[in-house]
Structure 1
Amino acid sequence: MLPAKIFRQTPSSSERSKLKIKNFTSVLFYIFSLLFCSISNAELTAQQEIAKQKGIELYNQYKAISAIDFLKIAAEGKDDEALYYLGEATRKNNRYMTPEAHKAYEESAKKGNIYSMIRLGSADEDLCATMKNCDQGETSPTEWLSKAKQLASEQASKGDAESMYLMWNITGDDDWLDKSAENGFPVAQFRLATKYQEGGGSFLLPSRRKDAIERWMKASAENGYPPAMMGMAAVTIEKNDLPAFRDWNEKAATSSYVAGVFGYASYIGEKESKYGFPLDLVKSYALLTNLLELDGGGNMIRYVNDTLPDIEKNMSKKQISEAKELAKTWKSTHPPLSFFPDKLGY
């Protein structure tokens, strides 16, 4: 006969059935999660792929309204990333999570997109909660956040640096940000550098803080993250390292980061550059006119319209003609202009 203490801890048959059902559900979710990670989306048609890229391009230029129609075409192919950006564009255009945005996120999340799971997990903090018209969906925000954490944790345990970054977003545990940065995710490296800039972290000496900021900003920039390139420009100008300042500005411009393009174009348009940029009115005019396509958000048009006339008045008709041709060439040989908004930003 079993001792009474052990007997009381042994589940009854009904309890065992409940446990089996719970465990079976957990196993099913785990299996589906693995499938989501290992099986790619159904291949998009050429038209859908083009629409996806154009939609994301417009979204990254703060043109959410224009992006929606393209993303809808791509979303017909059930691509989880296109669905996520459709949700983002719809939500930001309306300033809250509409039923349409919720549906796009949910379809994306079902295909294993952790970003969409995180969005759904914060739905009860959205304006729709205040308005009391949030789409209830099939799964609650708490359950979506739990699924996001489970899937991100599984991927992070396999060394995926981006999933470590997502774990930081989900849990708020700074150890995950450190791990993601150390494993080479450029966005995490940039976030860690800005965290130190804003006074986070503990350093015995101010010089140690500056060293840490430069270390992670440089790591992110060298890993190709354009906002960090401009971050390095700020670090180097503080050190009065003008050659490095010019170099990072040009790299940011070449990457088509809007802030980098505007800064670089403005500097090379100055007759007497205090930072030592060589005068190049043709390239300055070309890059500034390319920025005119940013007629959505970001207020870039205003800055360009304030700067461009001062460049143009010092140019000949021949130079302006050359600049217009260069603008076309530059656009066709460089990535689309982008503000590089935070993928989980609000």
Structure 2
Amino acid sequence: MTQHSLFSQISSCVLCILCTFVAYAKEADDTAEKLFREGFVLYQQQSSARSLEKFKSAAELGHIEAAYYAGNIIRQDYTYITKESEHFYRQAAEGGDVYAMLRLGQNDSVCGILRDCAYDQDAWVDKALNTALPRAEAGDSEAMMELFSVYWQSGEKSEAFAWTKKAATHGNAFAQYWLAVGLLGEREMGFYWTKAGRREDILRWLRASAEHGYPKAMLKLALELRTLGEYQEAQHWVEEMGKTDYYDAILESGTAIMLGPNIATLYGERSDYGFAEARPVKGAALLLALHRQTNKDDPLEMIEDYQAYLTPEMMADAEALSKELLVDTPILHYLPKFGI
């Protein structure tokens, strides 16, 4: 055998081994991503115990965000960081997850009763800042929202506000919602000469978020518009809410559509969206589909409250229509990644 032939055989073997390794790595990555997605849906359905196993399995295959969620669920169970949750947070943080870095950098309710932290908390906060800042400055709106959490945790509220506004301006739907509800609304940040001016900005950012398809913004916007008596626009968002995958929005939409003007009789004038007529079949169908997808009692309780207005024929039609609604739609609660 010539030296050239031997070299060719060795090269072929090495190439074959590399190809096998790459294929195995891709399969592992695909499996990890599938497990993470399954876990994420379960987590958003408030099934933490079932999602934890998915997240752990994905983390073992190297999935960074799954490791963060695994650590977070364990921390929530104990209300402080245990050695196990620290293990997952550290894996995520070392993989570049800014929120995991911030968890390791928190000074309150962490490290157990003895505060036995075997790491430099301030160093993790610095790393979170240094990881997010270059990406945010390059225009990454997700990184801008990471900076909101970095600065808010560090007590620099004005910087947190500024980065949220930048993210909102860059079209980040969650940032738009959070700017409206959390910062301009609940915390009343930013200067305004009048309450009307603040309210105008809150509605502007809620509209932007809702138009980007964020269902929590749709619900909040509909409620705000209802309070202001702007019924036509409020009704539009009630209709749109029923097409989302957000539990609270679908529940509100189905109830409002089913009851129409009768909602004021059952729940008071302030609950009225100004609908000219009730649409009991469509509304009840949406509520029945929501119950089917979640097995929660609230949708059925809404129907029971309206039972006096529902004929057997209406319910039969609603049952039939419900089979066409929310099919293959996982119903979620839109829990924040870092807020709880």
Question: TM-score category by the smaller chain?
Answer: 0.7 to 0.9
Who is 2:185 aligned against? 197
Q: Offset at 1:328?
A: 4.2
Alignment of 1:73-88 (within 5 A): 73-88=57-72
What residue in structure 1 maps to residue 151 of structure 2? 171
Which residue of 1 is the match for residue 208 of structure 2?
Answer: 219
Report SS of the residue matched to 2:167. Answer: helix
Paired amino acid for 1:109: A
Q: Unaligned regions of 5+ residues in structure 1, if any? A: 1-40, 296-300
Assess, with a 3 A threshold, how the Cα gap between structure 1 residues 45 and 162 changes in structure 2: closer, same or farther: closer
User: Structure 2 counterpart of 1:91, which letter?
Assistant: R
Partner of 1:342: 336
**1:147 lines up with 2:127 in the alignment:** yes
- The alignment's TM-score, normalised by the length of structure 2, stands at 0.77
CA distance in 1, matches of 2:311, 2:30: 43
Match of 1:241 in 2: 230
State the Cα distance separating 1:154 from its structure 2 match: 1.1
What's the % identity of the aligned pairs?
26
Instruction: Let me know the Cα RMSD of the aligned residues.
Output: 2.7
User: Are the aligned partners of 1:64 and 1:92 in contact in 2 as well (CA < 8 Å)?
Assistant: no
> Equivalences for 1:5-20 in 2 at 5 Å?
none
CA deviation vs aligned residue, 1:204-261 (integer Å, no higher than 9, x gap): 1332212211111111211222111112112322332212111112222312222211
Q: Which residue of 1 aligns with 2:56?
A: 72
1:183 to 170, 173, 176: 170
Matched, 1:306 2:295: no
Paired position in structure 1 for 2:269: none
Question: 1:250 corresponds to which residue?
Answer: 239
TM-score where L is the length of structure 1: 0.76
Gaps of 5+ in 2: 1-24, 153-158, 263-271
Instruction: Give the aligned partner of residue 110 of structure 1.
Output: 94
**Higher RCO (CA < 8 A, seq sep 6+):** 1
**Which of residues 318, 326, 334 in structure 2 aligns to 1:331?**
326
2:69 alignment partner AA: Y
Question: 1:291 Cα shift?
Answer: 3.9
2:29 and 2:63 in contact (8 A); partners too: no
**Contact in 2 for aligned 1:87/1:101 (Cα 8 Å):** yes
CA distance in 2, matches of 1:102, 1:270: 49
Distance 1:244 1:234 in 2: 11
Deviations 1:283-341 (A, max 9, x none): 3333323444656xxxxx4643532323456545565455445444323254x212212
What corresponds to 2:46 in structure 1? Answer: 62
Aligned residues: 296
- Report the Cα distance in structure 2 between the residues aligned to 1:98 and 1:126, rounded to whole angstroms: 11
SS state of the match for residue 330, structure 1?
A: coil
Over 3 Å counting, the alpha-carbon distance change for 1:341 and 1:99 in structure 2 is same
